[in-house]
């Protein structure tokens, strides 16, 4: 009797294993993209983010459309530290699409993308924080008019 129960269990196991849908195969549900012209404050509404990037691998453009995402969902950016060849690095907090020169209070060191794809970083200078070119040297660029 035990051998009959073991044989039936052995036959039923592959059926149970093959009938269950793979949970990992389902793509993550992303929030809807806002309509054109709407304010964008997050990476999910930022155009031009490259999918399936490998963290630490080489990349090409450190000025325009520099953001990517790894296959596990980590936001990265293409940067060139100390003039070495550009590579993909973990991104600071990203705030969607912003305009160069606009104020960014309390966001120092965080990043965004201009409407034309320019990489922006929030820098503090002259008691103000504003979005400046991210590919320029730290603290570089001219501050916006007061």
Write the CB contacts of 106 (distance below 8 Å, at least 6 apart in sequence): 129
The whole-model pTM stands at 0.68
Instruction: Give the whole-angstrom CA distance, residue 69 versus residue 75.
Output: 5
- At 26 the pLDDT is 47
- At 76 the pLDDT is 96
Instruction: Give the whole-angstrom CA distance, residue 10 versus residue 92.
Output: 51
Q: What is the mean pLDDT of the chain?
A: 79
Number of H-type helices and E-type strands within the chain? 1, 8
From the number of C-beta atoms within 10 Å of its C-beta (0-12, 13-18, 19+), residue 6 rates as exposed
Find the helix or strand (DSSP H, E) in which 11 lies.
helix 2-19
Q: pLDDT tens-digit profile of 47-104?
A: 999 999 999 999 999 999 999 999 999 999 999 887 789 999 999 999 999 999 999 9
Find the helix or strand (DSSP H, E) in which 129 lies.
strand 128-133
Instruction: Give the whole-angstrom CA distance, residue 43 versus residue 33.
Output: 10
- At 17 the pLDDT is 43
Phi, psi of 14 (to 5 degrees): -65, -35
pLDDT band at 144 (very low <50, low <70, confident <90, very high): low
Residue 25 per-residue DSSP state:
G
């Amino acid at each position: 009797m035990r051998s009959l129960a073991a044989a039936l269990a052995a036959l039923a196991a592959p059926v149970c294993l093959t009938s269950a849908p793979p949970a990992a195969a389902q793509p993550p549900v992303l929030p809807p993209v806002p309509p054109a012209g709407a304010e964008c404050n997050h990476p999910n509404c930022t155009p031009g983010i490259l999918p399936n990037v490998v963290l630490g691998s080489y990349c090409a453009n450190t000025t325009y459309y520099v953001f990517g995402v790894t296959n596990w969902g980590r936001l990265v950016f293409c940067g060139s530290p100390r003039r070495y060849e550009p590579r993909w690095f973990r991104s600071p907090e990203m705030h969607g699409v912003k305009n160069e020169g606009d104020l960014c209070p309390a966001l120092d060191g965080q990043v965004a993308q201009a409407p034309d794809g320019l990489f922006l970083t929030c820098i503090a200078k002259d008691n103000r924080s504003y979005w400046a070119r991210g590919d320029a040297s730290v603290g570089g660029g001219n501050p916006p008019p007061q």
